[in-house]
Amino acid sequence: MITIKNESQIEKMRKAGVLLHDVLEALRREIEPGVTTLHLDQLAEKLIRQAGAIPSFKGFEGFPFSICASVDDQVVHGFSNKKPLRKGQLLSVDCGCILDGWQSDSAFSVLVGGGSKEAQQLVDVTERCFWLGAQQAVAGNHLGDIGHAIQTYAESFGYGVIRDLCGHGIGTEMHEDPNVPNYGRAGRGVKLEAGMTIAIEPMISAGTWKVYQEDDGWTVVTRDGSLCSHYEHTLLITDGEPEILSYPGMKVSEVLR
């Protein structure tokens, strides 16, 4: 069931979003060659708990970490570890928190210490896919409008749009209705209403869209071993431009102008 949030509930999600944004910015500053993803995971949990919140990933259906740290061909749900990151690796960091009972979810990708032009283009295109999808996330539009915008842009570069995983509704639970695919037909799917809160999260591969799950039961990787990038924010549907709850103050129109 899709829930419409009232102003009091939205304000709580705003506060969770502010906290999560601050945590992810702190993690960004730590990322460099030689740092371990386990260090990033421990830092994220420390900052979230110090703020009186809960890391929503840790323990979710048995997931053992506070962040998903996915490297190179890992799409999502990568396990943190003690292996030092190497220059040029593509790292995707996904994190969520629960503050006062309300969730926020966000992800970004970065090249560790810089990298190739080809890899940087994948990261940049994935991020722009999010903003193009978010541009369509207005009351009166449909979920298919979001997916179509993401798919059209990504595929114009010859990239693969991951289909086995998608965005989602979010509120008191991390994953609520509706599913938010990163592909689709414009004008199709659930009609968007003001007060809905969703997480849009394009996962874009330099090669195939096909994936498989590793033996740990969590980590998803591209079937052809190609690089994959991930970008996500939690947002509020309004009658006009959506509010990016996990990127306070940032406006879609400013990014795309």
Strand 54-55 with 228-230, pairing: unpaired
Q: How far apart are CA 188 and CA 190, in angstroms?
A: 7
**Nearest of 80, 134, 84, 88 to residue 110 by alpha carbon:** 88
CB count within 10 Å of CB 89 equals 17
pLDDT at 257: 86
- Band of pLDDT at residue 118, cut at 50, 70 and 90: very high
Strand 90-99 with 67-71, pairing: antiparallel
pLDDT at 129: 98
pLDDT at 167: 98
Condensed to tens digits (0 to 9), the pLDDT of residues 4-62 reads 999 999 999 999 999 999 999 999 999 999 999 999 999 999 999 999 999 999 999 99
pLDDT at 154: 98
pLDDT at 57: 98
Domain segments of the chain as ranges: 7-256
Q: How far apart are CA 106 and CA 230, in angstroms?
A: 10
Both tokens assigned to 87? 């220059």
Rg from Cα positions in the chain? 17
**Reported CATH class of domain 7-256:** alpha beta
Phi, psi of 256 (to 5 degrees): -95, -5
Q: Average pLDDT in the 91-105 region?
A: 98
pTM metric for this prediction: 0.97
Contact between residue 121 and residue 157 where contact means Cβ atoms under 8 Å apart: yes
- 168 has pLDDT over 90: yes
Q: Average pLDDT in the 95-99 region?
A: 98
Q: How far apart are CA 144 and CA 182, in angstroms?
A: 9
Contact between residue 140 and residue 158 where contact means Cβ atoms under 8 Å apart: no
With a pLDDT cut of 70, the percent of the chain lying above it is 100
Condensed to tens digits (0 to 9), the pLDDT of residues 204-256 reads 999 999 999 999 999 999 999 999 999 999 999 999 999 999 999 999 999 99
Which residues are CB-neighbours of 156 under 8 A, at least 6 positions away?
A: none
**Nearest of 61, 71, 68, 60 to residue 44 by alpha carbon:** 68
